[in-house]
Chains A and B, each alone.
Chain A
C-alpha cells in the first residue's frame, strides 16, 4: 500500500516568491493534515480537512498561506509571498477518520528554504 506522497521534497526560493506543496494521502483516508516542523521542533498543525471541508485552520496564517483539498483527495498548500521565517519542513499526514488514537500516517515532508 502506497504511503502519503508529497512533492516537491526540496524547494529553494527567494523571499517574496510564491511556493506550493502537493500531497496525495493514503487511499481511503478521509482526514488530511498539514503540519509545519521547524528545525529542532515538533510538528505543529496548520490545517485539518475532513473530506473537502477545512474543520481546523485556526493555526494557518491566512494572510499568506492558503490550502485546498478539491474532491476530498489531494491537497495543495500555498505560501504567497514567502518570508525567511517560512523555512521549515511542511508535513502532510492522513488518517482514516479523526485520528483519536493518534495514528496519523505522515509523508516524508517538503523541505522549504527561503533565501
Chain B
C-alpha cells in the first residue's frame, strides 16, 4: 500500500461546477499538506499549502485537512476550462525526512465549456 492514495479519475465537469478532489494517507507523521497542479508536459506548481489540520482558502480554492481521518481535500469553486490539469496531493513529515515530499498519483480534471 502506498503512503498516499489518490483516485486518478479522470474527472470531467462543466464550467462553473464545484470540484472536489481528495487524498488519503497512512503515515501519521505527515504534518505538511500541499496541492500541486500539473499541466500536460509541464512541471507541477504549488497551489495550496496547509500545516496540520484545518481549512485554508485562496480565491476559488479551498484546502481541508482532517488528520484524525488521514484525509485531505481540495475544492475548486466556479471551475474554469483553464483549471483542466492533473492535481497532485503531496505531504511531508518533519524530522529526518524534512524536505521529502510524498505525492499521490494525481487526479486528471477536465472542465468543459
Contacts and interface: CB of A to CB of B under 8 A. Distances in A.
Interface of A: 4, 31, 33, 40-45, 48, 55-56, 91, 93, 98-104, 106-109, 111
Interface of B: 4, 6, 8, 32-34, 41-46, 49, 51, 88, 90, 92, 94, 97-101, 103-106
Contacts of B99: 31, 33, 48, 55-56, 98-100
Given A98-B98, A100-B32, A103-B46, A43 B103 contact: yes
Contacts of A55: 99
Contacts, number: 69
Nearest to A31: B99
B40 to A, nearest CB: 11
Contact of B44 (A44, A45, A101, A106): A106
A108 B44 CA distance: 8
B100 A56 contact: yes
A108 B46 CA distance: 14
A103 to B, nearest CB: 5
B87 to A, nearest CB: 11
A18 B28 CA distance: 40
A97 B88 CA distance: 22
A101 B32 contact: yes
B30 to A, nearest CB: 11
